């Protein structure tokens, strides 16, 4: 009888783990004041990008889907933005978290490195991630690649991301070129890169 009960309990545990519904989660990366006009590291197109991020955020709230805000706090020596206890480190007013939405604090480009993001995603049984944020060439790129390596199905909202011009030796790479190059590199092997409105229409749920 005892053996039968242990088998039954074990089977119930297995059954419940398989029956837990898979879900889609929104990950908003570093949508913080320093990336916006007047901030310490203003990006090109940050206002347009956050408007699309907000559209996705509202769509997730309407559907009661899980939402995770990632906030970068600089701790490296000589950092010039996202400094602790400054207004620049605060999440932008357009996408302020509400009750029930997790804030994941990070100190490295990857949203998974030394954070609780993976633990939170597994807790809600998320298998598909919709990703938005800044900077495209840095924290967004690093996080998308890490998420894909961890087995998540990733969708990156191309118009809900922003970046800046880069310098390589004597060559200046304009922000538009940086943006296009990184989105093109991520599309396919690591994520599906789509406009926010297409993700809302076809890929939530």
Nearest to 159 by CA among 68, 30, 32, 46: 46
Q: Is residue 12 part of a domain?
A: no
Q: Is residue 198 part of a domain?
A: yes
CA distance 193 to 190: 9
pLDDT, tens digit, 9 for 90 and up, residues 137-157:
999 999 999 999 999 999 999
Q: Is residue 111 part of a domain?
A: yes
Cβ atoms within 10 Å of 11's Cβ, excluding its own:
10
CA distance 100 to 91: 16
Domain span at 121: 21-202
pLDDT, tens digit, 9 for 90 and up, residues 27-57:
999 999 999 999 999 999 999 999 999 999 9
Question: What is the CATH classification number for the domain harbouring 113?
Answer: 3.40.50.850
Total structural domains within the chain: 1
Q: Is residue 2 part of a domain?
A: no
Q: Is residue 7 part of a domain?
A: no
CA distance 58 to 70: 17
Q: Is residue 134 part of a domain?
A: yes
pLDDT, tens digit, 9 for 90 and up, residues 157-204:
999 999 999 999 999 999 999 999 999 999 999 999 999 999 999 998
Torsion over CA of 97, 104, 67 and 192, rounded to 10 degrees?
A: 130
Q: Is residue 26 part of a domain?
A: yes
C-beta separation of 160 from 132 below 8 A: yes
pLDDT, tens digit, 9 for 90 and up, residues 78-129:
999 999 999 999 999 999 999 999 999 999 999 999 999 999 999 999 999 9
CA distance 36 to 43: 6
User: Judging by DSSP bridges, how do beta strands 171-173 and 192-194 pair with one another?
Assistant: unpaired
pTM over the 0.85 mark: yes
CA distance 186 to 103: 25
Q: Is residue 8 part of a domain?
A: no
């Amino acid at each position: 009888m005892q053996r039968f009960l242990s088998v039954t309990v074990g089977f119930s545990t297995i059954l419940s783990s398989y029956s837990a519904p898979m879900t889609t989660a929104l990950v908003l990366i570093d949508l913080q004041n320093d990336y916006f006009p007047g901030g310490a590291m203003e990006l090109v197109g940050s206002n347009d990008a956050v408007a699309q991020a907000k559209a996705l955020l509202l769509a997730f709230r309407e559907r009661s889907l899980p939402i995770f805000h990632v906030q970068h706090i600089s701790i490296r020596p000589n950092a010039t933005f996202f400094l602790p206890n400054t207004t620049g480190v605060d999440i932008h007013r357009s996408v302020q978290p509400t009750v029930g939405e997790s804030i994941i604090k990070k100190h490295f480009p990857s949203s998974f490195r030394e954070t609780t993001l993976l633990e939170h995603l597994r807790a809600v049984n998320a298998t598909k991630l919709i990703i938005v944020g800044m900077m495209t060439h840095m924290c967004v790129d690093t996080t998308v690649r890490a998420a894909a390596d961890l087995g998540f199905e990733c969708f990156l909202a191309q118009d809900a991301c922003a970046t800046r011009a880069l310098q390589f030796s004597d060559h200046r790479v304009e922000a538009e070129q940086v943006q296009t190059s990184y989105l093109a590199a991520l599309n396919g092997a690591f994520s599906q890169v789509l406009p926010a409105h297409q993700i809302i229409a076809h890929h939530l749920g």
